[in-house]
Amino acid sequence: RFAVEGILGAGGMGVVLSAKEARGGRAVAIKVLTRLDSAELAARFRREGQSLTRIRHPHVVDLFELESDLALPFMIMELLPGGSLAQRIAAGPLPVRQAAVVAGELAAGLAACHAAGVVHRDVKPSNVFAPAGGHVKLSDFGIASSATSTTLTMPGEVFGTPATMAPEQVLGQVAGPPA
């Protein structure tokens, strides 16, 4: 169904590919779970997709399809053009007005997540896409939690990026929308 064009990124549990649909030629991102040795990672992958299916907002990446029960689970998502906010910041500081727009758009996306019962738990510049002249989109819901289901994080486990974690997360406590 897809012609893979390249690798966009890789992490501890999978890889994200750029691809085009065979019919129609729509550009997409395919996130594939490659760590197949862990039921916990498979559950996290499924939860990430399920979280994204509940959120539709212009400042949150769109999920088109989730196939989590296959031998090689994958998600078909919107391909986000340009780079991350981290890459944009590395090129130099944002002008104040632009930074305010980015903050407002990101806050609106997070509000939509919270309204859907999803807490991202890993908001950082590398998880925000910021195309030149475009609107920001929050991505990578790999460690998101749901206010309506049980957690996959065991007591004492901490997931996230320490430099951007809320104090509650660092302490292993529940990180809700205020975090």
Residues with a known catalytic role: 122
* Cβ-defined contacts of 25-28 (< 8 Å, 24+): 27/79, 28/2, 28/64, 28/76, 28/77, 28/78, 28/79
Q: Could you give the 3-state DSSP secondary structure of residue 7? A: strand
What is the C-alpha separation between 124 and 115, in angstroms, rounded?
20
Alpha helices in 8-164 (DSSP H): 39-53, 85-90, 96-115
